[in-house]
Structure 1
Amino acid sequence: MSNLNKTPSSNRLHISIFGKRNMGKSTLINAITGQNLAIVSDFAGTTTDPIYKAMEILPIGPCVLIDTAGIDDVGALGDLRIKKTMEVVRKTDIALITVDYNGFLEFDYNIIDILNKNNTPFIVVINKADIEKPNSDFLTELENLNYPYINLSAEQKDRMEDMKGLIIQHSPMEFESPSILGDLIEDGDHIVLVIPIDTGMPKGRIILPQVQTMRDILDNSGIIHTCKDTELQATLDGLKHPPKLVITDSQAFERVSAMVPEGVLLTSFSILFARYKGDLNRMVDGAKTLMSLKSGDKFLVSEACTHHVQKDDIGRYKIPKWIDEKIDTGIDFDIVAGRDYPENLKDYKLVIHCGGCTLNRKEMLGRIDISYREGVPILNYGLCIAALYGILDRALKPFPEVNEIWKKK
């Protein structure tokens, strides 16, 4: 079982609770976890915004529970709450749809339709079994539709082990991302990690993608050498044999590429995460669009996390500046940050996304899907920087199939 403190939220199974108001969603969360995590009230609409709680639940393991506002909420504020609830679907690995003994109403069918369109598995939880048995016609409907379901009382905390068993049984096997680079290295391979220390680096620590990459190398019995870009040449000179792979922060790509011998594979943390969190094959499409931008076009910069913006912020300042210098002037852009991601991208030629380390894989893939449905290619910061500096060919060499796709463009 994974240790709670060692499993980032983005790598946990995301379990979302959906349903009409006053169906006992918060009570169900408290029953599953055995804790009073969510506020419970007889007053309909107590939960107003999605509530996220990362924890470890035996025997499920590390997970994130998401309590949502009632999908039948009313009024202008209710519409906003429903919108937030729908956004949760993008990151949901498995959903619990809470209903009572009367069966489905229009609201339930709507959320089921959305879950099906997003290929999100779900379990129907018939709550309030302590009050009344479910309608027999409703049970027949569930069986005819082949929907997994369970009848229980969250209030009395009965059948919780059965509930957990169903979650394990119906959770997608692929909810966890593939190995970051386990298929690229062999036991004993030497890997050099280049981590510049600049104003964007959190004081006293290194950022999540770098930590996760280190752990993945250790899990695959690789040998790590870590240095700043200013110490890279000394690090390479000190090795008895050339390393199998050099992984750099994307912002140091140009300097690092000049130092690393051509026979040594080179890529960036961000490009590794394009594959780990998303779809590197499709993101390569965005690199071609990037190089064809012209004055009057507009692109969208999407940052998955919220952070203090500094004067040399990579997404807000550096990338737009480099695009202006290396492609064309007069190319405009907008910024979205955090959980916001627009459904309507018609005003944009391209989306340039961060590495997505704070997103789970389901949500990153969902954002890629939205972009392609809208006909707007997407790439991430690492691919963007490598393309701008003319070294994307080299940065994709560790991934032969993707490199072939890029060469054909």
Structure 2
Amino acid sequence: MNTTPISSRLHIAIFGRRNAGKSSLINALTNQEVALVSDVAGTTTDPVSKAMEILPIGPVVIIDTAGLDDTGELGELRVKKTYEVLNRTDLAILVIDGTIGLSEFEENVLKIIRDKNIPVIGVINKKDLSQYSEEDKRKWEEKLKLELIEVSALKKHGIETLKMMLIKKAPYDDRELSIVGDLIKPGDFVVLVIPIDKAAPKGRLILPQQQTIRDILDNDAMAIVTKEHELKETLQNLGKKPSLVITDSQAFLKVSADTPKDIPLTSFSILFARYKGDLEELVRGVKAIKKLKPGDKVLIAEGCTHHRQSDDIGKVKIPRWIRQIVGGDIQFDWSSGITFPDNLEEYSLIVHCGACMLNRREMMYRISYAKSKNIPIVNYGVLIAYVQGLMPRAIEMFPLAKMIYEEE
């Protein structure tokens, strides 16, 4: 449980007005003093996350948020951050302060949650301090069209009932998402090409590589790991043709040259484009590069913050490639972490990272938001395959994506 990446956990977020007991509730759910609790309204200023496990759901992240009724200039910023949490929320908990009761405020928050198609659980907190009646509770449920669970976060009453409702309401993806599981079968060999250069973290593999290896093993296949300069020798010594070769995008060109044409080839980033988002939409986005004109603006978005190397992929290489294709100057902006810019109308293209540190809901939100603004979006892996002339080979095994790419 402790080693499950945050991006692979179910994200459960708690919303409500200030001083409704949201922080006390997260402490009760985790059985730890995770969030700062105070009678002073507005104690929680930034979202607070806690990793835990709720069986049989498995590893989850519970997110405590600032009150959505916060006021003032600083309060508006806190509310904005709270609403951003919705973009990565898989399951929402709406907390009603039992000492105040239901108001138009909770109704409006519930509407926003439902508009995003997020399953929601209603909670009346401070049951031990409240004077509302069963008739009041019934009317609130009828108005919200939502079953309300009564709890006292302070005294930890009703917490087990809430956990059972979390299990009941937890969304499960009918596709049973897998990185490579549907592309291989038990007993297959899969070769993973992992460059070890100055950008590689010392003493370990990066998250997409780790997760792909685990997915291969989970599907009873065999992972063969090699560097790009040893790939040709690796393939010669296998004794059996691998069912798939997966490479780091930055070694795509050499790996493609050394991999026979009858062996399927793709990249970690393209696999994660499908696993975390919408590969077809990202392939559609890469075609917009040839429509760029000198002076256009491009946003490069990354889901994490990291130390940039001298030849960083997002800061240096991708801007260089795009300027070479366009044949003129392009303006670039960069964003990183969980914040995604609102001003997408300024850009002619969005280039996104592989999203290994984001959960699927957050990445799908970003793709959908870009689409709603009619701004094409592509990810690193798809773009690199395109600029190095490796499309459509890199998406050969994904027929719909290939068809979209080959459309005029």
Distance 1:266 1:315 in 2: 23
By how many angstroms is 1:113 displaced?
A: 2.2
- CA-CA distance at 1:371 after TM superposition: 0.5
**Aligned twin of 1:94:** 91
SS at match of 1:217: helix
Where does residue 28 of structure 1 map in the other structure? Answer: 25
Which one-letter code corresponds to 2:116 in the other structure?
A: N
Aligned residue among 105, 108, 132 for 1:107 = 105
Q: Tell me the residue number matched to 2:16.
A: 19
SS in 2 for 1:253: helix
CA distance 1:177–1:19, shift in 2 (3 Å)? farther
Alignment correspondent of 2:166: 167
The residue aligned with 1:45 is: 42
Equivalent pair of 2:102/2:140 in contact (CA under 8 Å)? no
Distance 1:181 1:306 in 2: 27
Q: How does 1:9-408 map to 2 (within 5 A)?
A: 9-101=6-98, 102-134=100-132, 136-143=135-142, 145-174=144-173, 178-408=177-407
Q: Are the counterparts in 1 of residues 93 and 120 from structure 2 also a CA contact under 8 Å?
A: yes
Residue 108 of structure 1 and its aligned partner are, at CA, apart by 1.9
Give, in whole Å, the separation in 1 of the partners of 2:354 and 2:71: 37
Q: For residues 98-131 of structure 1, give each alpha carbon's deviation from its aligned partner in whole angstroms, at most 9, with x where no partner exists.
A: 1123433343233222212211111111011111
- Check the 8 A contact 1:293/1:328 in 2, yes or no: no
CA contact (8 A) 1:59 1:164 kept: no
Alpha-carbon contact 1:177-1:277 (below 8 Å) kept? no
Which stretch of the first structure deviates more once superposed, 334-343 or 205-214? Answer: 334-343
**Residues of 2 paired with 1:214 and 1:5: CA distance?**
19
Structure 1 residue 306 displacement after superposition: 0.4
Residue 145 of structure 1 deviates from its aligned partner by 4.0
- Distance change (3 Å), C-alpha of 1:104 and 1:176: farther
What CA deviation, in whole Å up to 9, does each residue of 1:339-393 have, x standing for no partner?
A: 1201221111111000000101111111111101111111100000011112120
Q: 1:177 to 1:107 in 2, by over 3 A?
A: farther
Q: CA deviation at 1:59?
A: 4.8
Give the match's secondary structure for 2:346.
Answer: coil
Q: Is the 8 A contact 1:195 1:228 kept in 2?
A: yes
State how far apart, in whole Å, the 2-side matches of 1:374 and 1:106 are: 30
Letter in 2 for 1:311: S
Task: State the shift of 1:133 in Å.
Answer: 4.4
| Distance change >3 Å, CA 37–CA 389, structure 1 → 2 | same
Contact 2:47 2:63 in 1 (8 A): yes
* Residues 50, 63 of structure 2: 8 Å contact kept: yes
Which consecutive aligned stretches of 4+ in structure 1 deviate over 3 angstroms post-superposition?
Answer: 57-60
Q: Tell me the distance in 2 between the aligned counterparts of 1:346 and 1:311.
A: 30
The 1-side partners of 2:189 and 2:64 are apart by 44
Q: Which amino acid aligns with 1:388?
A: V
The one-letter code matched in structure 1 to 2:224 is: H
Residue identity in the other structure for 1:391 = L
User: What are the ranges of 5 or more consecutive residues in structure 2 without an aligned counterpart?
Assistant: none
Matched-pair contact (CA < 8 Å) for 1:177–1:276: no
Aligned counterparts of 1:94 and 1:103: Cα–Cα separation in 2: 23
Q: Deviations over 1:308-340 (max 9, x none)?
A: 111111011111111122332212211001112
Report SS of the residue matched to 2:262. coil
Per-residue CA deviations over 1:47-104 (Å, capped at 9, x if unaligned) read: 1110111122345421111110111111111011001101100001111111123433
CA distance in 2, matches of 1:366, 1:129: 36
SS in 1 for 2:246: strand
Counterparts of 1:9 and 1:216, CA distance in 2? 17
Q: How many residue pairs were aligned?
A: 406
Tell me: CA distance 1:60–1:161, structure 2 relative to 1, closer, same or farther (3 Å): farther
Higher mean C-alpha deviation, range 107-116 or range 236-245: 107-116
Alignment deviations for residues 10-58 of structure 1 (CA, whole Å, 9 cap, x no partner): 1111111111111000111111111111111111111111011112234
Query: What TM-score, normalized by structure 2, do the two folds share?
Result: 0.96
Quick one: which amino acid aligns to residue 28 of structure 1? Answer: L
Q: What CA RMSD, in Å, does the superposition of the two structures yield over aligned residues?
A: 1.6
**Structure 1: distance between partners of 2:142 and 2:399:** 47
3-state SS of 2:392 partner: helix
Q: The residue matched to 2:173 in structure 1 has which SS?
A: helix
CA deviations 1:222-276 (Å, max 9, x no partner) are 1111111111111111121221111000011111111111111000000000000
Could you tell me how far apart the structure 2 residues matched to 1:401 and 1:149 are? 43
Return the offset for 1:138. 4.9
Instruction: Describe the SS at the equivalent of 1:140.
Output: helix
**TM-score, with structure 1 as normaliser:** 0.96
Asked if structure 1 preserves the Cα contact closer than 8 Å seen for 2:294 and 2:326, the reply is no
Cα distance change, pair 23–231 in 1 and its aligned pair in 2 (3 A)? same
